[in-house]
């Protein structure tokens, strides 16, 4: 490259090379400068090496070339800066210039050979290099020359193509077109210089920069400050013009908006771009943008630039930017609502022409702008979510941040309205997916909230959009009630979406129903969805939602007084001892297995913000209380019989109870668990009053709505279970017991007592009968088994189980091969079944039937099997 | 149709409004007729009139013009029905002629022995055979279907059933065959041809399972319909009882009942309870009863009527007073229910047995007076009833007439007996195993 400069200095090489160009593309008059061209093409292969060498050889020359004025710039500021800086700057500039020269060289070679692919690639590289050049410095003249030449040769090539029938090959033709486009674009920027070049091709390169130098000199001090001292913009702002990076004056005019935007878009995602700076620029642009199209474009870019700030896995988007983004999104939505001819859609081609904004073509109704409102809204939502995750929930900051949710909800709602208006027009292809996503977002902000809160949210956002707007999916008139709203949103998703989104909608609805005490509906939906079979295949977020829903259904059952169902539902989550992890409400300390930082980070990302949490202490309290009410009578019933191990409802509870019993001294209860344990102990001893007082003194009940009702329900349950426990425990010591006495003891109505006893007798839990005349319970003698007898029973059970297993094993082994066995075996099994039925008639078998009666088990697998005994 | 339903007494005991949408017009007619008779019996003329007008509305869309015309005369007290009826009648008759002509050839063919003998089980081959040998076209086969439908609408169920049967043998159009099966089922029910109705039930059921297996919604709807339709044979034909109850208790149908029509539980309970006296296989009976109790408990939040309340009181709450009260109410309900009216007495009797049974299980000494009251009988009748019961079921019980009590003797279940029972088959089974292994 430097060689070229030199030669350019010696003779009129710029002239000649453009001539050569003609020559090669035209292939006509070959006499002119034949030798030189040949010489150059010979050197083609070596050009790279050479240019590198040239670096060293001709550093001196460069001073005379384009480098000279760059140097001047540096020198002009050298008063302030010390030598080190200068050296550094110099070397960088040298390097850049070298690259530039290499590219120019390549392009020239390409021009000679008619290799448009090469030209296209190199031209791109060249452009990139030029933009990287420190602004404020002059555009290197060789560059101007090259682009001027390229333009010419492109035109020629095109003209020639029209004339000659011979076709270029496809890749070349494509490259040519690409170059043409690019040249058109870039040359606009440098029109003046190109014109100057054309006027005086020979001397252009050598013409002094004097007249132009005035500008850089005038600006140089400012530019330097900007480069050296961070925060120079403020200084610049005080002046009249804003100075961009590198000292170029940035004139923000409505006309130049697109150019700036393009520049910003191009640097997006690259290293060392100052995002904050760009955002500042765009904020300015936004102020001056005066047509809707400009505003829309600026806002789209601005919002996404703001989101870039929070990209990466650890960064959180700064608060003020979030707020600004929220403002800008709603501004964007307002603009879109006010100017219905502009629409923003995902699947539109970008408008490339920066000079003139697109205008309405006849026959078209809309001007389409590429962009995705739903992605922006989702991103905004995610960012709020992330920021809430990272804020300590017990500070006022959290609450303040939480207030932004209202604004976010408004944006979501308006986004939905926007998509609805788009959907109204058949001609626009709105991806159904976008609408689904936005509805899902709305639902996600609603489902876990109490009706009152949702109502406030809704009122606010309806107020925000004004009176004359209505929504097609959630009409104003119908969606006023939160339950209706949830129903409508979910119904929409059921019909229009599929897969996980649909499942999530269902879970959200069930959650909402359970939260609002609609237990049966929630349970039926949950069961009918058959989600428990497929949930393991879902992504983790949805599994968490499933767990949350399950827990909420369980709590709802508890509030309804359905102890058995509540326990059964909560078992899977609470029995695991990993509630925190399963509900994404805290990271579990893992004692034995090492967690990789990656896993931990993912885990942290999944955490729910505090306001969505289900109170774990309350959950534990409910679970333990339910377990107590079921386990204590069961423990009393099974007593010391050998199969006591078989029937455990809640392992967690049993473990706690054992631990509690091992303690030598038990102090007054301190936490929830202590309370329940001591209540259990009292209940087991028949002291139901004490048990009730323990349970009632648990503070956490206050978090439940209708605390009093719940306490009352619990008292009632404890009374009944107390009676049952008492009967189980003390039956062996009585012949008869008066119903009246029992009714006094447990302060229950005597008919109620009779009913409970009847139930126990009829389920064969209690070997007794009632005497109607004297109103006594008569305990049958001889049913209490001695140890030997019960062991004998257990042994016989095991023996028959062994035979059963053997038969089954054999059956599996000989599947379909041994017919004889099938026949005989069938008879054999028949005999066995009779025996089993007889066994069930015994006093021990009775419990099973009672457990089966629930029939609404959510749990499956091992846990379910354990419950079913 | 809504008019009649509104006209019916809305005392909660009647579940007509629930049942009606799942029945066809023709199947609904007997129910309305029944309500009308009831109203007349009670002497509620106004209501009867309302029902009558409802009946006309119901049948107006059918082709039973003669009958509707008579009804109209009855209602309005005129001798001659208005001209529109005669006109319609004329239309129907011409239509009938048309259809008869269209199907004449094929109908004749199918009466000829050699043709029928030539038919195979392969439908496509049959059609081919008829086409080649006798010039039968697809249109002619379809005409059979249309004619069958027409006759059904005319109320001529017998011929309709025949037509549809013939159509089904020949047609290869699956959708139409399914529709024909439904039509045949309705025709058989309405011509009280229970045995073939039960067969058709099976066909329809198979059709639902195989044809709609990937459309759960349609499956649910069809099953709901089928459940309602099968109530007719269930309470009218002894032989239908077992298969239909089996069907109801199968997982998919009990799910259907629980999801879309919990009121069917009433009939299910009635059928199971009344069936207990025919104690042919009591273990099945016991199991069904247990299932019923479970379903009643599960559906308690959704549906309750005196009959489910009876089950609830007796088996879940063990409240005998409530059970007695519920039984009294259920009797009333049964008498005013189209399906249950005939078996009311059997039901009440069987229910008494059940009360007594669980009473005896729980109590060891009972006051006859109280017991009779619980059974809804006076003491003397009660005593007689109890004596009969003891004799029939060989309960281990004695009556102490001095104190007026029944003393039950509950023999404790001997533990040694249990061990023996459990280990009974062990040796034999091991031998079988041994033999199988050594082979």
Mean pLDDT of B117-134: 71
Mean pLDDT of A830-857: 36
Angstrom distance (rounded) from CA B56 to CA B70: 10
Cβ(A654)–Cβ(A645) below 8 Å: no
Nearest-10 Cα torsion for A102, A108, A111, A114: -50
- SS3 label, residue B215: coil
Kindly state whether residues A313 and A375 are assigned to the same domain: yes
Q: Which pLDDT score is estimated for A49?
A: 47
Cβ(A179)–Cβ(A154) below 8 Å: yes
Kindly state whether residues A103 and A195 are assigned to the same domain: yes
C-alpha distances out from residue B223 to A192, B168, B209, B216, B299, Å = 84, 21, 9, 10, 19
Condensed to tens digits (0 to 9), the pLDDT of residues A325-368 reads: 888 888 888 888 887 777 787 776 666 655 566 666 666 667 77
Window A:835-854, CB contacts with B under 8 Å: 835-839, 841-843, 849, 852-853
Cα dihedral sign for A618, A623, A624, A630?
Answer: positive
Q: Tell me how far the alpha carbon of residue A647 is from its chain's centroid.
A: 43
A772, A781, A793 member nearest B418 (Cβ): A793
With CA atoms as reference, report the closest residue to A512 among A493, A484, A531, A479.
A484
Q: Which pLDDT score is estimated for A64?
A: 47
SS3 content of chain B, % helix, strand, coil (to 5): 80, 5, 20
Distance linking the first and last C-alpha atoms of chain B? 70
Query: What is the number of CB-based contacts under 8 A between chain A and chain B?
Result: 139
Quick check: A53 pLDDT over 60?
Answer: no
CATH label of the domain that carries residue A759: 1.10.10.10
Take residue A160 and report the two structure tokens written for it: 């020639």
Taking CB atoms and an 8 Å limit, are B422 and A810 in contact across chains?
Answer: no
Q: Which pLDDT score is estimated for A79?
A: 44
Taking CB atoms and an 8 Å limit, are B294 and A855 in contact across chains?
Answer: yes
Which residues of chain A make contact with B301, given a CB cutoff of 8 A? 520
Cα dihedral sign for A316, A320, A325, A330?
Answer: positive
Quick check: B333 pLDDT over 60?
Answer: yes
Angstrom distance (rounded) from CA B42 to CA A480: 49
Angstrom distance (rounded) from CA A542 to CA A534: 11
Percent of chain B with pLDDT over 70: 89
Which residues of chain B make contact with A772, given a CB cutoff of 8 A? 363, 365-367, 370, 405
Mean pLDDT of A462-467: 78
Quick check: A10 pLDDT over 70?
Answer: no
CATH label of the domain that carries residue B432: 1.10.10.10
Q: Which pLDDT score is estimated for A7?
A: 42
Kindly state whether residues A324 and A398 are assigned to the same domain: yes
Cβ(A714)–Cβ(A626) below 8 Å: no
C-alpha distances out from residue A774 to A86, A737, A759, B99, B430, Å = 114, 10, 19, 79, 52
CB of A860 within 8 Å of any CB in chain B? no
Taking CB atoms and an 8 Å limit, are B439 and A818 in contact across chains?
Answer: yes
Lowest mean pLDDT across A449-463, A733-747, A791-805, B33-47: B33-47
Taking CB atoms and an 8 Å limit, are A853 and B294 in contact across chains?
Answer: yes
Condensed to tens digits (0 to 9), the pLDDT of residues B174-223 reads: 778 888 888 888 888 888 888 888 888 888 888 888 877 777 788 888 88
Q: Which pLDDT score is estimated for A75?
A: 44
Domain coverage including residue A166? 94-204
Q: Which residue of A has its CA nearest to B256?
A: A528
Mean pLDDT of A123-144: 68
Q: Which pLDDT score is estimated for A550?
A: 92
Percent of chain A with pLDDT over 70: 67
Kindly state whether residues A311 and A437 are assigned to the same domain: yes
With CA atoms as reference, report the closest residue to A409 among A329, A480, A468, A291.
A329
Q: A497: phi > 0 → left, psi -120 to 50 → alpha, else beta; which?
A: beta
More confident residue, A230 or B106: B106
Taking CB atoms and an 8 Å limit, are B412 and A780 in contact across chains?
Answer: yes
With CA atoms as reference, report the closest residue to A680 among A712, A721, A730.
A721
Mean pLDDT of B393-403: 76
Kindly state whether residues A428 and A287 are assigned to the same domain: yes
- What is the band of A456 on the pLDDT scale with cuts at 50, 70, 90? confident
Task: Give the count of domains, chain A.
Answer: 4
Strand-pair partners of A242: A250
Cβ(A575)–Cβ(A865) below 8 Å: no
Is residue B183 a part of any domain in this protein?
A: no
Cβ(A180)–Cβ(A139) below 8 Å: no
Quick check: A24 pLDDT over 50?
Answer: no
Quick check: A61 pLDDT over 50?
Answer: no
Angstrom distance (rounded) from CA B44 to CA B48: 6
Is residue B392 a part of any domain in this protein?
A: yes
C-alpha distances out from residue A527 to A510, A549, A855, A861, Å = 10, 12, 11, 16
Quick check: A238 pLDDT over 60?
Answer: no
Using the 3D structure, point to which of A134, A169, A204 is the last residue of a domain: A204
Quick check: A822 pLDDT over 80?
Answer: no
Window B:267-326, CB contacts with A under 8 Å: 283, 290, 293-294, 297-298, 301-302, 315, 317-319, 321
Beta strands per DSSP E along B66-162: none
Taking CB atoms and an 8 Å limit, are B429 and A528 in contact across chains?
Answer: no
CB of A822 within 8 Å of any CB in chain B? no
Edge-to-edge strand order for the sheet containing B397-400? A736-738, A776-779, A768-771, B363-367, B405-408, B397-400
ipTM score for this prediction: 0.76
Kindly state whether residues A653 and A765 are assigned to the same domain: no
- What is the band of A642 on the pLDDT scale with cuts at 50, 70, 90? low
Take residue A588 and report the two structure tokens written for it: 């579990």
A769, A773, A838 member nearest B405 (Cβ): A773
Cβ(A137)–Cβ(A216) below 8 Å: yes
Take residue B162 and report the two structure tokens written for it: 């025949």
pTM comes to: 0.68
Angstrom distance (rounded) from CA B343 to CA B335: 9
Cβ(A40)–Cβ(A3) below 8 Å: no
Give every CB contact of residue A849 below 8 A, 6+ residues apart in sequence: A763, B290
Beta strands per DSSP E along B109-191: none
Angstrom distance (rounded) from CA A277 to CA A261: 13
Helices and strands, counts by H and E, chain B = 24, 3
Q: Which pLDDT score is estimated for A139?
A: 67
Lowest mean pLDDT across A230-239, A254-263, B79-88, B93-102: A230-239
Take residue A219 and report the two structure tokens written for it: 């600006």
Is residue A433 a part of any domain in this protein?
A: yes
Condensed to tens digits (0 to 9), the pLDDT of residues B368-381 reads: 877 787 777 787 88
Task: Give the count of domains, chain B.
Answer: 1
Window A:57-96, CB contacts with B under 8 Å: none
Is residue A5 a part of any domain in this protein?
A: no
A528, A772, A800 member nearest B367 (Cβ): A772
C-alpha distances out from residue A354 to A117, A188, A293, A345, A357, Å = 25, 11, 12, 19, 7
Is residue B114 a part of any domain in this protein?
A: no
Q: Which residue of A has its CA nearest to B315?
A: A759
Q: Give per-residue burial for B305-333: e unless 16+ CB within 10 Å, then b.
A: bbbbbbbbbbbbbbbbebbbbbbebbbeb
Taking CB atoms and an 8 Å limit, are A758 and B298 in contact across chains?
Answer: no
Burial class for B94, CB neighbours closer than 10 Å (0-12, 13-18, 19+)? exposed
Using the 3D structure, point to which of A403, A422, A446 is the last residue of a domain: A446
Where do we find the tokens 């015994």? A842
Angstrom distance (rounded) from CA B188 to CA A18: 100
Q: Which pLDDT score is estimated for A510?
A: 92
Is residue A379 a part of any domain in this protein?
A: yes
Mean pLDDT of A574-592: 75
Domain coverage including residue B422? 362-436
Angstrom distance (rounded) from CA B436 to CA B439: 5
B294, B366, B424 member nearest A772 (Cβ): B366
Angstrom distance (rounded) from CA B40 to CA A805: 66
**What angle in degrees, to the nearest 10, is found between the helix axes of B194-211 and B216-236?**
170
Kindly state whether residues A648 and A747 are assigned to the same domain: no
Kindly state whether residues A277 and A317 are assigned to the same domain: yes
Q: Which pLDDT score is estimated for A227?
A: 41
Condensed to tens digits (0 to 9), the pLDDT of residues A278-311 reads: 777 777 777 777 777 777 877 888 887 777 776 6
Q: Which pLDDT score is estimated for A549?
A: 92
Q: Which pLDDT score is estimated for A850?
A: 36
Angstrom distance (rounded) from CA B186 to CA B225: 11
Task: Quote the mean pLDDT of chain B.
Answer: 78
Q: A552: phi > 0 → left, psi -120 to 50 → alpha, else beta; which?
A: alpha
- Which own/partner pairs from B204-208 qualify as long-range (CB within 8 Å, at least 24 positions apart)? B204/B178, B205/B247, B207/B178, B207/B181
Is residue B14 a part of any domain in this protein?
A: no
Q: Tell me how far the alpha carbon of residue A700 is from its chain's centroid.
A: 33
Q: Which residue of A has its CA nearest to B301?
A: A520
Q: Which pLDDT score is estimated for A370?
A: 77
Condensed to tens digits (0 to 9), the pLDDT of residues A668-686 reads: 888 888 899 999 989 888 8
Is residue B218 a part of any domain in this protein?
A: no
Taking CB atoms and an 8 Å limit, are A770 and B364 in contact across chains?
Answer: yes
Where do we find the tokens 């749990």? A859
Condensed to tens digits (0 to 9), the pLDDT of residues B23-40 reads: 777 777 787 777 777 777
CB of A809 within 8 Å of any CB in chain B? no
- What is the band of A217 on the pLDDT scale with cuts at 50, 70, 90? very low
Percent of chain A with pLDDT over 90: 6
- SS3 label, residue A478: coil
Is residue B254 a part of any domain in this protein?
A: no
The backbone torsions φ and ψ at residue A771, rounded to the nearest 5 degrees and listed phi first, read: -105, 115
Kindly state whether residues A196 and A293 are assigned to the same domain: no
Kindly state whether residues A177 and A318 are assigned to the same domain: no
Kindly state whether residues A722 and A740 are assigned to the same domain: no
Taking CB atoms and an 8 Å limit, are A762 and B361 in contact across chains?
Answer: yes
Angstrom distance (rounded) from CA A50 to CA B243: 98
Chain A closest-CA separation from residue B405 CA (Å): 8
Is residue A406 a part of any domain in this protein?
A: yes
Quick check: A125 pLDDT over 50?
Answer: yes
Q: A714: phi > 0 → left, psi -120 to 50 → alpha, else beta; which?
A: alpha
Taking CB atoms and an 8 Å limit, are A755 and B319 in contact across chains?
Answer: yes
Taking CB atoms and an 8 Å limit, are B418 and A820 in contact across chains?
Answer: no
Which residues of chain B make contact with A789, given a CB cutoff of 8 A? 415-416
Q: Which pLDDT score is estimated for A12?
A: 42
Task: Quote the mean pLDDT of chain A.
Answer: 72
Cβ(A324)–Cβ(A280) below 8 Å: no
Strand-pair partners of A135: A137
Quick check: A228 pLDDT over 70?
Answer: no
Quick check: A21 pLDDT over 50?
Answer: no
Using the 3D structure, point to which of A204, A232, A266 is the last residue of a domain: A204
Q: Which pLDDT score is estimated for A84?
A: 45
Is residue A213 a part of any domain in this protein?
A: no
Kindly state whether residues A653 and A702 are assigned to the same domain: yes
B318, B321, B422 member nearest A839 (Cβ): B422
Angstrom distance (rounded) from CA B63 to CA B155: 7
More confident residue, A781 or A164: A781
More confident residue, A722 or B321: A722
């Amino acid at each position: 490259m430097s060689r070229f400069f030199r030669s350019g200095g010696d003779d009129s090489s710029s002239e000649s090379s453009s001539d050569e160009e003609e020559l090669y593309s035209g292939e006509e008059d070959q006499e002119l400068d034949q030798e030189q061209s040949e010489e150059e093409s010979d050197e083609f292969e070596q050009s790279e090496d050479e240019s590198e060498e040239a670096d060293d050889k001709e550093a001196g020359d460069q001073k005379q070339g384009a480098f000279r004025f760059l140097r001047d710039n540096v020198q002009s500021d050298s008063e302030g800066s010390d030598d080190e800086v200068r050296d550094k700057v110099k070397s960088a500039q040298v390097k850049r210039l070298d690259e530039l020269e290499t590219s120019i060289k390549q392009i020239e070679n390409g021009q000679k050979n008619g290799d448009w692919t090469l030209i296209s690639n190199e031209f791109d590289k060249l452009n990139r290099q030029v933009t990287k050049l420190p602004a404020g410095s002059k555009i290197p003249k060789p560059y101007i020359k090259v682009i001027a030449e390229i333009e010419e040769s492109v035109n020629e090539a095109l003209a020639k193509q029209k004339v000659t029938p011979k076709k270029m090959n496809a890749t070349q033709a494509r490259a040519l077109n690409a170059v043409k486009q690019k040249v058109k674009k870039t040359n606009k920027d440098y029109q003046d210089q190109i014109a100057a070049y054309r006027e005086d091709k020979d001397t252009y390169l050598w013409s002094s920069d004097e007249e132009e130098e005035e500008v850089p000199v005038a600006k140089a001090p400012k530019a330097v400050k900007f480069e050296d001292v961070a925060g120079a913009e403020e200084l610049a702002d005080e002046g009249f013009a804003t100075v961009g990076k590198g000292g170029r004056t940035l004139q923000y005019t409505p006309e130049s908006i697109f150019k700036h935007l393009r520049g910003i878009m191009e640097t997006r995602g690259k290293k060392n771009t100052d995002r904050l700076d760009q955002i500042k620029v765009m904020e300015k642009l936004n102020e001056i943008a005066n047509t809707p199209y400009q505003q829309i474009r600026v806002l789209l870019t601005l919002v996404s630039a703001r989101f870039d700030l929070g990209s990466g896995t650890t960064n959180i988007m700064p608060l003020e930017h979030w707020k600004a983004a929220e403002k800008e999104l709603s501004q964007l939505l307002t603009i879109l609502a006010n100017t219905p001819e502009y629409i923003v859609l995902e699947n539109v081609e970008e408008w490339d022409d920066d000079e003139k904004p697109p205008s309405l073509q006849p026959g078209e109704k809309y001007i389409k702008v590429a962009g995705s409102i739903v992605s922006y809204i989702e991103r905004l939502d995610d960012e709020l979510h992330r920021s809430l995750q990272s804020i300590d929930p017990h500070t006022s900051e959290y609450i303040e941040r939480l207030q932004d949710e209202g604004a976010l909800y408004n944006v979501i709602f308006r986004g939905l309205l926007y998509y609805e208006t788009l959907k109204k027009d058949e001609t626009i292809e709105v991806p159904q997916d976008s609408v689904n996503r936005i509805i899902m977002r709305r639902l996600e902000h609603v489902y876990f909230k109490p009706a009152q809160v949702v109502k406030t949210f809704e009122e606010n956002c309806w107020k925000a959009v004004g009176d004359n707007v209505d929504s097609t999916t959630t009409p104003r008139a119908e969606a006023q009630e939160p339950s209706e709203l949830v129903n409508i949103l979910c119904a929409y998703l059921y019909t229009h979406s599929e897969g996980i989104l649909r499942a999530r909608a269902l879970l959200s609805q069930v959650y909402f129903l359970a939260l609002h005490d609609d237990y049966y509906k929630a349970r039926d939906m949950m069961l009918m969805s058959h989600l428990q079979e497929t949930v393991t295949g879902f992504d983790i977020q949805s599994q968490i939602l499933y767990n949350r829903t399950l827990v909420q259904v369980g709590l709802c059952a508890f509030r309804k007084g359905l102890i058995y169902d509540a326990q059964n539902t909560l078992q899977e989550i609470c029995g695991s001892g990993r509630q925190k992890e399963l509900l994404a409400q805290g990271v579990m300390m893992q004692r034995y297995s090492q967690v990789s930082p990656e896993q931990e980070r993912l885990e942290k990302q999944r955490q729910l913000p505090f306001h969505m949490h289900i109170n774990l202490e309350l959950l534990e309290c409910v679970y333990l209380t339910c377990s107590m009410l079921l386990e204590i009578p069961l423990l009393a019933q099974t007593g010391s019989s050998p199969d006591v191990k078989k029937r455990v409802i809640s392992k967690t509870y049993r473990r706690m109870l054992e631990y509690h019993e091992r303690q030598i001294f038990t102090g007054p209860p301190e936490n929830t668990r202590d309370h329940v344990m001591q209540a259990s102990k009292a209940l087991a001893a028949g002291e139901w009053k004490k048990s009730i007082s323990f349970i009632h003194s648990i503070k956490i009940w206050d978090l439940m709505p209708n605390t009093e009702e719940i306490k009352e329900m619990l008292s009632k349950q404890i009374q009944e279970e107390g009676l049952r426990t008492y009967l189980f425990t003390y039956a062996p010591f009585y012949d008869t017991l008066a119903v009246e006495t029992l009714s006094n003891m447990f302060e229950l109505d005597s008919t109620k007592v009779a009913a409970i006893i009847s139930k126990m007798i009829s389920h064969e839990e209690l070997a007794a009968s009632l005497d109607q005349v004297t109103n006594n319970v008569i305990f049958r003698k001889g049913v209490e088994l001695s140890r030997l007898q019960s062991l004998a029973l257990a042994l016989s059970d095991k023996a028959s189980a062994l035979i059963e297993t053997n038969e089954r094993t054999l059956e599996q082994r000989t599947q379909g091969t041994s017919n004889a066995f099938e026949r005989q075996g069938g008879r054999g099994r028949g005999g066995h079944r009779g025996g089993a039925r007889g066994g069930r008639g015994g006093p021990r078998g009775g419990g099973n039937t009672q457990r089966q009666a629930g029939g609404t088990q959510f749990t499956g697998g091992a846990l379910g099997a354990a419950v079913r005994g | 149709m809504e008019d009649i339903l509104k006209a019916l007494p809305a005392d909660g005991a009647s579940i007509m409004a629930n049942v009606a949408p799942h029945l066809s017009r023709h199947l609904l007619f007997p129910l309305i007729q029944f309500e009308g008779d009831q109203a007349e019996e009670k002497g509620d003329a106004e209501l009867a009139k309302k029902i009558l007008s409802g009946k006309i509305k119901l049948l107006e869309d059918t082709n039973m013009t003669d009958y509707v015309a008579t009804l109209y005369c009855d209602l309005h007290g005129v001798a001659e029905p208005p001209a529109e009826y005669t006109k319609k009648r004329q239309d129907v008759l011409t239509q009938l002629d048309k259809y008869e002509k269209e199907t004449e050839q094929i109908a004749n063919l199918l009466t000829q022995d050699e043709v029928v003998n030539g038919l195979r089980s392969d439908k496509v081959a049959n059609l081919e055979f008829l086409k080649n040998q006798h010039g039968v076209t697809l249109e002619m086969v379809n005409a059979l279907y249309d004619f069958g439908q027409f006759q059904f609408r005319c109320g001529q169920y017998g011929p309709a059933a025949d037509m549809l049967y013939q159509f089904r043998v020949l047609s290869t159009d699956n959708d139409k065959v399914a529709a024909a099966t439904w039509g045949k089922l309705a025709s058989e029910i309405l011509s009280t041809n229970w045995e073939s109705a039960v067969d058709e039930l099976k066909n329809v059921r198979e059709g639902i399972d195989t044809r709609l297996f990937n459309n759960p919604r349609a499956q649910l709807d069809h099953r709901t319909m089928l459940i309602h339709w099968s109530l007719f044979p269930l309470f009218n034909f002894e032989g239908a009882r077992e298969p239909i109850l089996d069907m109801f208790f199968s997982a998919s149908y009990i799910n259907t009942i629980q999801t879309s029509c919990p009121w069917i539980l009433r009939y299910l309970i009635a059928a199971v309870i009344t069936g207990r006296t025919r104690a042919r296989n009591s273990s099945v009976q016991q199991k069904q009863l247990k299932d019923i109790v479970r379903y009643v408990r599960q559906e308690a939040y959704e549906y309750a009527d005196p009959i489910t309340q009876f089950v609830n009181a007796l088996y879940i709450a063990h409240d005998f007073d409530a059970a007695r009260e519920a039984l009294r109410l259920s009797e009333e309900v049964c008498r005013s229910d189209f399906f249950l009216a005939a078996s009311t007495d059997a039901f009440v009797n069987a229910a008494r047995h059940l009360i007594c049974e669980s009473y005896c299980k729980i109590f060891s000494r009972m006051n006859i007076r109280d017991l009779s009251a619980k059974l809804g009988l006076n003491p003397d009748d009660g005593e007689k009833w109890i004596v009969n019961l003891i004799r029939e079921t060989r309960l281990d019980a004695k009556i102490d007439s001095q104190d007026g009590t029944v003393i039950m003797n509950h023999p404790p279940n001997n533990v040694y007996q249990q061990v023996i029972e459990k280990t009974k088959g062990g040796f034999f089974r091991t031998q079988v195993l041994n033999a199988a292994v050594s082979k």
